[in-house]
Structures are given as structure tokens and as C-alpha cells.
Copies of this chain bind each other. A is one copy, B any other.
Amino acid sequence: MDKDRLDPWGTSAIKDYSRLQSEFGIEPLAPLVPRFKKPSPHMRRGIDFGQRDLARIVEAVERNKPYAVMSGIKPTGDFHLGTKMTADDMVYFQSLSKKGTVFYAIADVEAYADNGLSFEQTAKTAVRNVADILALGLDPDRAVVYFQSEELKVMRLGIVFSRGVTNNMLRAIYGERQIGLYMAALFQAGDILMPQLPELGGPKPVLVPVGADQDPHIRLARDLAARYHDDFGFVPPSSIYHKLERGLTGSGKMSKREPASGFTLEEAPAVVSKKVLASFTGGRATIEEQRRLGGQPDICPVFDLYNFHFAPDNEYATRVYQECAGGIRMCGECKQEAATLVKEFLVQHRKKRTALMKDAEELLVKSRRYLISAGK
């Protein structure tokens, strides 16, 4: 992160989340939490920390009005912990009301352009990715999953936006970038705003759950929503921000681009165990010191594993934190315990996912049919 810019394509960690509020205008989440009947684990554990216009979503839920939850995935491989986190948020926000629809974009054009993956390859990966999100609890009856490469509505919006945006606006948000990244950002704004097109029910609140480093994309989409308000009636999209998981290697954020920093939901349990057991921690130099000073869960990627994903409930996560900070919990056992939880989760998840492969295919077919007929 450079001095005055967030980098959605970088790998560095964010050190001070409060700065995001003063510098970028991300609003705190806390004041809104009481309006949720059952706040999500991410909200309760301080993982979700900020928002923009989340009140619009809360109001839609309270008044039983339609809203959408939007996110996307680059189908370059299996679900990673980062994708899981966003998926968990989507599932949660979909569950708040029968009027909530999830839009899930499969960025296969990007996977092709950046990673050289053919559309056939990514189509296969996408089915697995969709099965993953179903296994995490997505309701397929209120979900629309689409391939960017097949969604002309998104491409058209991207092109329209490209004419309305100034280079200075893009530079202010993203810094000086290669044009392909600007283009990807504009199409992504198309993804975010598509649910508000007349053929998809018209203007409505749309929530985009993202990692804090993705805020530039939100700002662009919000700028464009304002700029094209007269043409499309766009409501500025809302966002909720989660903290970034620390990489297991101890350097920067956990990232798909650095496989050693995390793991996918499909990696062999033995490999995952190894990664967890070898993880960097917030532990002290000696056991003696750790007993005396306590560990440092706030900088520990192993604590993040508990807190972001694998602690069975909030009390469990809190207990781990307190035992660590209190010098009772030592890193060796803690990693063992984490590895066991991870392994149990993975085994269960895979079972569910395998059983849901057919549902995933059906959801893709159904979504496509819906979007094509909506375009007419």
C-alpha cells in the first residue's frame, strides 16, 4: 500500500485498519451491528470492520425490499481461504431476507488474459467453484452465476463506462497502471452495477463484500453509479470490508498468488497440515518468554485460521485468543489443534461439495437461461 492508495492487485498487508476510515472514507461497521438480528461470525469477531452505505442493505432487509449481493471469482483454481471468506459473507447476506439475490461473476476472460486458461478449462473449474459456494450454504434459488465471457450486459457496461471515466479519475483511484488493469476494473464495475439494469429488476441496493484492499474497485463503481445516475438510475453500491488474513509464511497478506501463504479447500489434508504446522506465528522467542509476556494473536496467521474460519463458534475463538495472549497456550499445541480443525473442516466440506457438483451445473444452466431471457 503506498502512502495514499490501496492496491487491489498487490500482496502487502494492511497494518492499520483505522487509517482506512480517516484516509479513504470507509465508515466503521460497529454502529450498524446492532441492527442485525444475528450478526455474522465475521462481524462478531472483528473481521468485518468497515462499510460504505451498508445501511441501505439493512433497510432493504427491514422493509422486505429487494437487494442484491454481488461478488466474483477468477476461476484459476480451487477455492482458497480468501474466496471462502467472501463466499461466507455472500451466504450470510443472502440469508437475511427472501428478497436477497446473489450475483456471482466468474471472471473467465481475466483468467484467460492473465493466466492463459482456456474457456473450457475455466468452465470446469467454475463448476467446482460453484459447488464450493453451495457447500458453504448458498441458496441456489436466489443466485445468478454467470461467466463474464458470456455476459454481454457486463461488457457493454464496461465499454459505456470507459467513455465516461477520465484518465485522471482512474489514476487517482488506482495510480498509474497498465491499461489492461484499468479495463478489468471497468468491467468489474459493470459486474457490480449489472444487477441494477432494468431487465434485472432495475435500481436496487447491491452489497459487495470485499477485502479492505479492494476498496478502489468499490470507489470506482460508486463514482460511476453517480456519473450514470441519470441514464440508469443506479443506487450507489454498498460494501462491507473484511480484514485481510495474514499469510502463513509471515510475509504480507494471504494470497492465491503465493501458494505457500495459504491453502485451497482441495489440497491434500497432509499438505495442509504441514503448512499449518510450519506456519509463522505470533509466538515469542522462547517458551519461557511466551509464558511471561503472552503470545501475540493479533499478528498471528494461525490465530487468523481460528478466527476467520475454523473456530466452531465465537467462544472458541475468544478462548484461543485469551489463552494465547495470557501465556497459557503455546504455539506447538496451538498449531496442532488448528491443523486438526482445518482437517475436519476440509473432510466435511469436500463431502458436501462432491454431492453438490450436479446442483452447481444446474445453477449455471438456470442462471444462463435467466440472463438470456432477461436480455430480451
Give A contacts to B, CB under 8 Å.
109-110, 112-114, 149-150, 152, 155-156, 159-160, 162-167, 170, 176, 178-180, 182-184, 186-187
What B residues does A152 contact at CB under 8 A?
Answer: 149-150, 152, 155
Question: Is there contact, CB below 8 Å, between A183 and B162?
Answer: yes
What B residues does A178 contact at CB under 8 A?
Answer: 163, 166-167
A-B CB proximity, top 3 nearest: A163-B180, A162-B180, A113-B163
**A109-B155, A167-B179 given; 8 more Cβ-contact pairs under 8 Å:** A109-B156, A110-B159, A113-B160, A149-B152, A149-B155, A159-B183, A159-B187, A179-B182
* Copies, count: 2
Least distance between A182 CB and chain B CB atoms (Å): 6
What B residues does A165 contact at CB under 8 A?
Answer: 179-180
What B residues does A186 contact at CB under 8 A?
Answer: 179, 183
Known A170-B179, A179-B182; contact A163-B109, beta-carbon cutoff 8 A: no
Question: Is there contact, CB below 8 Å, between B159 and A113?
Answer: yes
Residue from B155, B163, B180 in contact with A155 in the complex, judged by beta carbons closer than 8 Å? B155
Least distance between A223 CB and chain B CB atoms (Å): 14
**Interface secondary structure of A, over-half rule:** helix
Residue from B109, B155, B162 in contact with A179 in the complex, judged by beta carbons closer than 8 Å? B162
What B residues does A187 contact at CB under 8 A?
Answer: 159
Least distance between A189 CB and chain B CB atoms (Å): 12
Q: Which residue of B lies closest to A158 (CB)?
A: B183
Q: Which residue of B lies closest to A167 (CB)?
A: B179
Question: Is there contact, CB below 8 Å, between A114 and B163?
Answer: yes
What B residues does A149 contact at CB under 8 A?
Answer: 152, 155-156
What B residues does A114 contact at CB under 8 A?
Answer: 163
Bound CA–CA A109/B186 (angstroms):
15
Bound CA–CA A179/B164 (angstroms):
9
What B residues does A179 contact at CB under 8 A?
Answer: 162, 165, 167, 170, 179, 182-183, 186
22 example contacts (A-B, Cβ-Cβ < 8 A) are as follows: A110-B159, A112-B159, A113-B159, A113-B160, A113-B162, A113-B163, A149-B152, A155-B155, A159-B180, A159-B184, A162-B179, A162-B183, A165-B179, A165-B180, A166-B178, A167-B176, A167-B179, A179-B179, A179-B182, A179-B183, A179-B186, A183-B186
What B residues does A159 contact at CB under 8 A?
Answer: 109-110, 112-113, 180, 183-184, 187
What B residues does A109 contact at CB under 8 A?
Answer: 155-156, 159
Least distance between A180 CB and chain B CB atoms (Å): 4
Known A149-B152, A152-B149, A155-B155; contact A112-B180, beta-carbon cutoff 8 A: no
Question: Is there contact, CB below 8 Å, between B183 and A183?
Answer: yes
What B residues does A170 contact at CB under 8 A?
Answer: 179
Bound CA–CA A36/B15 (angstroms):
70
Least distance between A88 CB and chain B CB atoms (Å): 30
Bound CA–CA A160/B170 (angstroms):
20
What B residues does A167 contact at CB under 8 A?
Answer: 176, 178-179
What B residues does A183 contact at CB under 8 A?
Answer: 159, 162, 179, 183, 186
Bound CA–CA A155/B170 (angstroms):
21
Bound CA–CA A149/B159 (angstroms):
10
